[in-house]
Amino acid sequence: MERMLNIALPKGRLGERVYAMFEAAGYPCPEIKENNRRLIFENRELGIRYFWVKPSDVVIYVERGAADIGVAGRDILLEYSPDVYELLDLEVGKCHMAVAAKCGYEDDRSRTLTVATKFTNIAKSYYASLGREIDIIHLNGSIELAPILGLSDVIVDIVETGTTLKENKLEVVERFAEISARLIANKASFKFLGERIDLLRGKLRDVIGTSK
């Protein structure tokens, strides 16, 4: 028998949307919708196994081969540069990476800029490309608080609708990267299970095409 194809999905709202795409592509696993605590689901007939993973951990599972394929945001791919193949833009979970600050903030280029973010590497490479010296403050969430409380001058964060910024009287200074969910594959898995993975990629591509 063929071995199970292991698929890491990001837990949460985006993951549910992504699972619906896999289902529409012909890879259903109905139990997944009935049980909200279990983490692993199998469809033995199709030879697939899904598991729910914290979104930022999907790349770890795929890079190390615990998952053959998975779905990760481009933000996570840019931040961690995992050694995986990026196979397809799923065109969901669209948002962008931006610099934001208090409304009316004016940059003083003569001094070091303090930047609060969850995305340390993305922020560093963005400001390096501008030749701007920065001081990074790594936070794990509620990044929007930092400029309000004077912890940082600006933040680098994901903006989707812009509501969080608006509600906290912050504004976008610069958008610099477009983000969406990507199908990724472990490099060795892609070599050995290439045909099955390619078939799945093609079916997902059709689902994206018909939803346009």
- Please report, as ranges, the residues that interact with ligand PRP according to CB under 6 A: 141-143, 157-164
What is the total residue count of the chain? 212
- In the bound state with ligand PRP, the residue whose beta carbon lies nearer, of 21 and 165, is 165
- In the bound state with ligand PRP, the residue whose beta carbon lies nearer, of 152 and 189, is 152
- Sheet containing 40-43, strands listed edge to edge, beginning at the edge strand earlier in sequence: 40-43, 48-53, 5-10, 69-73, 181-185, 85-89
Q: Smallest Cα–Cα separation from 81: which of 119, 131, 136?
A: 119
Q: In the bound complex, what is the minimum distance in angstroms from residue 197's beta carbon to ligand PRP?
A: 28
Q: β-strand 113-117 against 154-159: which pairing, if any?
A: parallel
- In the bound state with ligand PRP, the residue whose beta carbon lies nearer, of 35 and 163, is 163
Q: In the bound complex, what is the minimum distance in angstroms from residue 98's beta carbon to ligand PRP?
A: 9
- In the bound state with ligand PRP, the residue whose beta carbon lies nearer, of 69 and 165, is 165
Q: In the bound complex, what is the minimum distance in angstroms from residue 207's beta carbon to ligand PRP?
A: 24
- In the bound state with ligand PRP, the residue whose beta carbon lies nearer, of 142 and 211, is 142
Q: In the bound complex, what is the minimum distance in angstroms from residue 175's beta carbon to ligand PRP?
A: 12
Q: Smallest Cα–Cα separation from 170: which of 111, 116, 110?
A: 116
Rounded-to-integer distance, Cα 189 and Cα 69, Å: 8
Longest dimension (CA), the chain: 66
Rounded-to-integer distance, Cα 55 and Cα 70, Å: 10
Q: In the bound complex, what is the minimum distance in angstroms from residue 144's beta carbon to ligand PRP?
A: 6
Torsion, Cα 84 56 22 191, to 10 degrees, reads: 20
- In the bound state with ligand PRP, the residue whose beta carbon lies nearer, of 29 and 165, is 165
Q: In the bound complex, what is the minimum distance in angstroms from residue 101's beta carbon to ligand PRP?
A: 15
